[in-house]
A and B are shown apart, each in its own frame.
Chain A
Amino acid sequence: MSEAAISSTKSSAHRRQLMERSPIIGWLFHFRVSALLTVLGLLDYMMISHAYYSTIAKGATVQLVFGFEYAILITMVVNTMIKYILHGAEMRADSPWENKAVFLLYTELVVGLIRVVLYVLFVVIMVRIYTLPLFAFRPMYYTMRNFKKALNDVILSRRAINNMNTLYPDATAEELSQSDSICIICREDMVHSSKKLPCGHIFHTACLRSWFQRQQTCPTCRLNILRTTSRPATANVQNDPNVNPPNPVIPEANPNQAAPNNVPPAGLNPFANLVPPQGIIFPHPPQAFIPPFPMMPPFMMPPPMPPNLDTLTEEELKLLEGNEKKNVEARIKLLRNVQLMLDASFALMNQYSAISANLVANETNVAATSETTTAGKTAKVSSPTVDTNMPSTSADAKKRNQEDLIKIEDLGSDDQDEIINANFTETSETNELRRRRLQKFQQTEQKNE
C-alpha cells in the first residue's frame, strides 16, 4: 500500500489484488484508489489526445506508437475501475452478489476484445506506413491468448449454468434426507433450492452457479459437467429424477447385432438380415487344402459398427434382443459357423507347420532356385512388417516354404522334390501370381494374429 507503487498503471492491478485479499477496507483506501484511478485515467487521456493531435498535425511519428500504447493502458485503467466498482458494490450489499462473477467475465471479454482490436489496428497501420512492428507481436500474442481464454470462460460457464438450469433435477426431499443435507460449498443446510449433478452430488443452486462461473466440474468428484452432458440420453433425466444419469447404460449389445451394413428396421425380425450368406463367410470346407486368401476378404474389412441403439425404443430393443425360437436358432447357427471356421483355421495352420517342418530339409535346394528367391525377396520388400514375429534367420526360409506350400496346393501333390524341380519350368506369369498370393496370405495371417 505504499505511495511508491503509484508509478504506473500496472500498480493499480496489484492494488486490486491486495484489496481482494483483505476484505476489511477503510475509507482512506477507497479514497486513494479512486483518486489514483482518476489521475491515471486523466493523464492517460491527455497523452492519448496529445499523440492523436500530433499525429494529425505532423503525420506519422513515434507519437503513433506511443498513442497506441496509451490506448492499451487506458483499457487497463478502465478494466481495473470496473472491477473496483463491482467489488465495492458487492461489499455494500449485505447478501452475496451472484452476478458479480458474470459481470467480471464479460468485462474481461470486452476489454480483451478492445485490446485485440487495438493491437491489430496498430500492426496494420505500421505495416502500411513503415514496416512490420516486430516488438508488438509478443504483447499482441498474449492479448489474443487472454481474449481467447476469456471467450472460452464465458462460453463454458454459460453452458454449464444452462445445463444446470435445464438438465439437472432438483434434489428431492428423500435424497436430501439420505445425505447429511449440508451443501459442502457453503456448509449450510439445504432446505431451499438445490440441484443434483449427474454424479449424484447435491449442492445449492446458487453455490453451484457461482462455482460453474469459475470451473465446470463437480466440486466433490471433479466430474467434468460439460463432457458428461453432451450425451443425448441426459435429455430424459429431467422427467425422471429416479434415474441416476452418470453412467450411460449402454444397452446390452448382442454380438450378433454387430451385423454387416444394415440397421434392422424396427418390427422386422432383426436376424433375418443378420446372418451373412453362407458362401461369403465360409466358402470352402475346412478339409480342402486350398489357398486361404479367397475367404479372407470378410476379415479384412473393419468390423461393422452396431446400429445406433440409443434411438430405439424399449420395445424395439427387446425385439432386437429376440428370445423367440427362430432368433435363438439363428444365433446357434452363427456360433456353429464361427466354431467351424475356427476348427478349419486350426487344421490349416497344423498342415502348414507340418509341411514347413518337412521343407526345412530341402532349404538348400530351394535356395538354388533363383526365381523363387527373387520372388521371396520381392515379397519381403513389399511387406516389410510381416516377419516381425519370426526369428529373422528363419524368415527367408519360411517364406520359401510358404511359397512351396502354395505350389503344393496348386499341384495337388505332396512330393516336395517334384515340386521344387517343377520350379525350373514355371513361367514367370505363374510366379508372379504366386508371389501375389503369398503376399496376401502373409498380410491376412498378420492381421489374424
Chain B
Amino acid sequence: MIRLDNASYTYAKGSGVSNVNITFGDDEFAFIIGPTGSGKTTLLRMIYMDLMPQVGKVVVDKYDSSKIKPRKIPYLRRKIGMVFQNYHLLEDRNLFDNIALSLHVIGFSTNEIIDRVTESLEEVGLGGKEDRYPEELSGGEQQRACVARALVKEPDIILADEPTGNLDPVTSFELIKLFEEVNREGTAVIMASHDYNLIKGRGHRIVEIQDGTVRQS
C-alpha cells in the first residue's frame, strides 16, 4: 500500500507538488496523467524516496518518509521496480549483466541470478539476447529490458515514469499490455504519462495532475 498524506515538495527554482493526498492499493494499476512539468516525476520520486516531502509524508508498506533512516531507503527500493523514459541501462555491460545487477545488489546466488534473469528476459520477449549490449537493441527492446530489470526482483510495485516517451504507438501499447500482465500477477503498477490517448479506455484508475495539484478520476 502506498499513501501520500498532504505531501508537498517544492524545488529551489519553483514547481513540484503540493498537498497530495492519495492512496494506491497493493495490486492496483493506476495512470498518473498530466502535461510535462506538472509534477508526475516529483510524485514518483517521493514514492521511491528519492525526494522527501517537505510537508506531509509518504508511506510505502512499512516505510514512512517522516521516520525512515537514510540507510533503510535501499531496502524500500528493493521492493520497487522502476522503469524510466530514458531506460538507464548501463552501456558498458550486456543485457544479462544489466538485469543481473538488481539481483547482485540484493545478494542472490549466481545460480538463482542465471535462472531469474533468463526467465525475466523470456517474459519480456528478449530471450536469447542476453549477450547484446544496449546500443545493439532498438528503443522498444531497451525499454523491455528495463521492464525485465524491474521485474527480475519480483517487486511489490512497478513505478514507470513516461516509459513510452521514446516509443512508437505500437510498441507503447505492447508495453502497457506487458504491465497489465504483470499487474494481473499481483504487482501494483503506477505509470506516469502525458499521453491521454494511450491510456484512455483501459479500465484503470487515472490520477490527473496539473501544476503540482492532484485531481482524481
Chains A and B belong together in one complex = no
A-to-B contact residues, CB < 8 Å = none
B-to-A contact residues, CB < 8 Å = none
